Chains A and B, each alone.
Chain A
């Protein structure tokens, strides 16, 4: 078990590092997008590759951050019933969900995306827009995102089993998005941003 937990920690640190770094791509995307608009307004010119770059950056950001989001238990749930369960039962739902919902989907996607990216790479496909970007780097982001999710899924399963056996404390106690507001905690700073 301790070897598995070490693996889980290693995966967590990699996905955390990648996920947090990826968020800066959003800032880059903001700047690219704003400059695009200004250039078009004032210089009356526009470039498809810059227009595509903004969503390449965004795509990279959310794909690479998905595993980190999973680690933080921030993928949104409908917890109207889940929230009423005991923590033990919630653990079981999470574990079975990881095993039978998350992993098959992610495995399948890694397989198909691998073919998909490889095809785009071999053919040197570029975007259909005039002056558009090469497509495979964008598609590669999808693949990388799902590979990270695959690893994070493994890590989550290890942690969940360890938590259920009482080996480690619960890293992400369930915070309901639908709890009655009586239990709301005081807000300080940038919190609650997830629910706009």
Chain B
């Protein structure tokens, strides 16, 4: 009898954990209690266990050190930082103004407000990692607009809930931080790996709206003309033409901040004299960037001045200059295309990828196309300058768009360029959000206190779950539970793919009932060793699970995003503010059904990420082979041999790991594309840094044959 219990301690412990958790007492303490109870049982039964149990009383002395490990984990600091930032932003009014502006920009397109919601959702997601903020703002601002102009209620509510959850997968998301921590990988790598899936997901949401507008034009109509104006004297068309040039300048500025080399290359092409002057006067990169930003600002303000107040004759002259530049850009683009005529892809060489290759061939000279677009629109706008209302509308658009972009740079830009660790990125974002709220006069003592208390409360329960998990894992590993789980998972049929599919289905189902914190702290550490043993890259695995867990926010009937939307959507018929019509409320059924297509998109996205690991694997900086037609064969390298992190993922960070080794690294110049610096994060590597990110022994990325 004792033998049976003692030799099957791990499964018994696991089942009893499920019972403990389902009883409904707080997770943190249930985990700890389960760990302690079985610790005593295990020590008592150790003589019967045939060596399966490696615990004895002195092991309890390890507990304080394990808790200290949780506390001294610098990565987890990002949790309160990003939460606090999100709460302050929610109150700063930034989301509202952004939605208002984006709604007008996209309005005239069919499904425009829905696109605006997706765009704003993605933009907010890139500033902070909190779902609540964007769903509530969008539910308050965009939902009434969509209902007013006859959007299908399911489409309207679904797109809002889903766009809000983008915050969970687009960096800097809390899910990815926790996942990186639990998998013992660097947050920076996790962020890099998640960018492309996040963007593809955003595009798929937009694609869904596009399909809806094609099949059911009435489900997502364009805004009527009277709703498109930017105010008296600022009709849609002229404002759009006038704002193109500034928006391209903003884009250039963002390229500069994220990839200075590329921006300087563009400068050398477009404005050679300025580039020459820079080269002559500056040697260091820092001043160049500041001077560059200065040039962009001067261009913008000069343009704005002409748009607003300069006598007509002068602005006509500037319009001519713009037009000449357009002509020059067309000429240069033509030359470039002609010079690469020999590389024009042919169907024979490329097969089914012909259209893609052709597109790549054409957009190779995108800098010139961008210049053509910006200057031609600018010329058209200046022909009708000056106009104060148009200029004001342009300024409002730029002013609404800049704050989130600046925040994105403060957070992601600094992380990717190796200036800051993810934790520090979160801190800078939080400071940025405070400054923004101050500028908008929205910051009060009460708001700060509430936001801090919420962030602290969240930290307390999250960190205590982690502490509980550490107590649990002490026993669970002592009774060889990790070996049992690993054996169970690696013996699944189908090898790597079989494992991934099974695990993802399991997580998808669990996500109906569990928060992602619960999933991440209890389930993920059990999966990680098995994944490593199968040679699965843990960043890829983490991003897959991240996309999957995103569904836990939109699963009917419990998803939090739906919950937030329900809380701000009308429950009773109401009078529309603009039209005065009686508008029907949004029913709960509509919110549920609206979410379903997006849950399906999410599942498709998980499948795509499994089929095309390159979209995540680029974090290693390996050249990504173009997808070739033919069967997908994923090699599972003979792998493992890694020290596996105990439950609670390598939190016994060595003291020496706290100092960021990233330091100040001058960003590489002259490299086109988003050049990502090695982050040198204090990676929470278990067992003395055995699992540094991107070391080849982790199993090379699955390759396509």
> Do A and B come together as binding partners?
yes
* CB-CB nearest in chain A for B517: A76
CB-CB contacts below 8 Å: A27-74 with B: 27, 29-34, 36-38, 40-41, 44, 46, 48, 51-52, 54-55, 58-59, 61-63, 65-66, 68-70, 72, 74
Assess whether A124 is interfacial by the CB under 8 Å rule: no
Structural contact, B32 and A101, CB atoms closer than 8 A: yes
- How many chain-A residues does the 8 Å CB contact rule pick out? 88
Q: Is the interface of A mostly helix, strand, loop or mixed?
A: helix
Assess whether B463 is interfacial by the CB under 8 Å rule: yes
- How many chain-B residues does the 8 Å CB contact rule pick out? 100
Assess whether B225 is interfacial by the CB under 8 Å rule: no
A38, B82: Cα distance in complex, Å: 18
Pick from B27, B76, B658: contact of A78, CB under 8 Å: B27
B423-466 Cβ-contact flags toward A at 8 Å (1 or 0): 11111101100000000000000011111111111111101110
* CB-CB nearest in chain A for B414: A37
Pick from B29, B80, B656: contact of A26, CB under 8 Å: B80
Structural contact, A55 and B452, CB atoms closer than 8 A: no
B650-672 Cβ-contact flags toward A at 8 Å (1 or 0): 00001110111001100000000
B556-567 Cβ-contact flags toward A at 8 Å (1 or 0): 011110111111
Structural contact, B77 and A132, CB atoms closer than 8 A: no
Assess whether B687 is interfacial by the CB under 8 Å rule: no
Assess whether B692 is interfacial by the CB under 8 Å rule: no
Interfacial chain A residues near B452, Cβ < 8 Å = 23-24, 26-27
* CB-CB nearest in chain A for B654: A128
A77, B27: Cα distance in complex, Å: 5
Known: A59-B71, A108-B60, A195-B515. A127 touches B419 (CB 8 A): no
Structural contact, B71 and A141, CB atoms closer than 8 A: yes
A105, B468: Cα distance in complex, Å: 9
Known: A20-B453, A33-B81, A82-B24. A101 touches B30 (CB 8 A): yes
B64-98 Cβ-contact flags toward A at 8 Å (1 or 0): 11011001111011001111101100110000000
Structural contact, A54 and B74, CB atoms closer than 8 A: yes
Interfacial chain B residues near A52, Cβ < 8 Å = 658
Assess whether B694 is interfacial by the CB under 8 Å rule: no
Assess whether A184 is interfacial by the CB under 8 Å rule: yes
Interfacial chain B residues near A141, Cβ < 8 Å = 71
Structural contact, B431 and A30, CB atoms closer than 8 A: yes
Pick from A75, A189, A195: contact of B450, CB under 8 Å: A189
Structural contact, B421 and A190, CB atoms closer than 8 A: no
Spot the interface stretch: B124-132, B316-324, B357-365, B370-378. B124-132
Assess whether A112 is interfacial by the CB under 8 Å rule: yes
Assess whether A173 is interfacial by the CB under 8 Å rule: no
Assess whether A85 is interfacial by the CB under 8 Å rule: yes
Interfacial chain A residues near B421, Cβ < 8 Å = 37
Structural contact, A190 and B513, CB atoms closer than 8 A: no
Known: A40-B663, A54-B74, A129-B656. A190 touches B460 (CB 8 A): no
CB-CB contacts below 8 Å: A63-122 with B: 63, 65-66, 68-70, 72, 74-83, 85, 90, 93-94, 96-97, 100-102, 104-105, 108-109, 112-113, 115-116
Closest 3 CB pairs of A and B: A82-B24, A97-B25, A33-B427
Chain B residues proximal to chain A, CB less than 8 Å = 20-30, 32-33, 36, 60-61, 63-65, 67-68, 71-74, 76-77, 80-84, 86-87, 90-91, 129-132, 136, 167, 174, 414, 419-421, 423-428, 430-431, 447-461, 463-465, 471, 513-515, 517-518, 557-560, 562-568, 588, 591, 654-656, 658-660, 663-664
Pairs across A and B, CB under 8 Å, 18 listed: A41-B420, A46-B659, A62-B460, A85-B24, A93-B23, A101-B25, A101-B29, A102-B29, A138-B72, A142-B64, A142-B68, A181-B566, A185-B567, A186-B568, A187-B568, A190-B454, A193-B458, A195-B132
Chain A residues proximal to chain B, CB less than 8 Å = 19-20, 22-24, 26-27, 29-34, 36-38, 40-41, 44, 46, 48, 51-52, 54-55, 58-59, 61-63, 65-66, 68-70, 72, 74-83, 85, 90, 93-94, 96-97, 100-102, 104-105, 108-109, 112-113, 115-116, 127-129, 132, 138-139, 141-142, 177-182, 184-187, 189-190, 192-196
